[in-house]
Amino acid sequence: MHELIKKYNLNGQFRWICAQKNRVRNGELYRYICDTKGAFVQPAIYEAFGLTVVEAMTCGLPTFATCNGGPAEIIVDGVSGFHIDPYHGDSASDRIADFFERCKTDPSYWVNISNGGLQRIYERYTWKIYAERLMTLSGVYGFWKYVSNLKGARHAAI
């Protein structure tokens, strides 16, 4: 990557963000990148859920993330972000470059993808939605435990 940065004179055009343990600082980094009309790229080979993807989208960042695992479900490709295949670096980098080229000619494109990401988060990944799903699951478990005499069956096997 450093050779590519030199070759294409990209110094100062993007930043590497190492693992952060300070959650407040994470939010500030995402917000700063969003305020400067940047994007978030998560090129993992596989990501089980994709918390960083949700965090970036929650800040309004257009997001590029692996098409393997959780991000494939979180992002609606081309609407709320973009899927990239980490096994095909050329097509992933072309996709990112095409996005910024389009944003140059049509600044509303960045805003549309940003808003699409925010909409997706509000529809699927809020704490309220999570709490409602958790309550539903606990109700289902409680009902199943009651009708199957789960507690009694466990004691009988001991």
As a whole number, mean pLDDT of residues 40-57 equals: 92
Considering only residues 5 and 150, tell me which one the structure prediction assigns the higher pLDDT. Answer: 5
Inform me whether the pLDDT recorded for 130 exceeds 90: no
Average pLDDT, the chain: 88
Q: Which of 24-33, 91-100, 112-121 has the lowest mean pLDDT?
A: 24-33
pLDDT-derived band at 95 (thresholds 50, 70, 90) equals very high
Predicted pLDDT of residue 152: 53
* Residue type at 150 in one-letter notation: L
Q: Which residues pair with 77 in a beta bridge?
A: 81
Closest CA relative to residue 73, chosen from 121, 8, 145, 25: 121
Q: Which is higher by pLDDT, 11 or 97?
A: 97
Question: Which fold would CATH assign to domain 2-125?
Answer: Rossmann fold (3.40.50)
Instruction: Flag whether pLDDT at 32 surpasses 60.
Output: yes
pLDDT above 70 (res 156): no
pLDDT (0 to 100) of residue 118: 97
Residue 92 has which token pair? Answer: 């992933």
For residue 29, is pLDDT > 80?
yes
Q: What is the pLDDT of residues 53-78, one digit of tens each?
A: 999 999 999 999 999 999 999 999 99
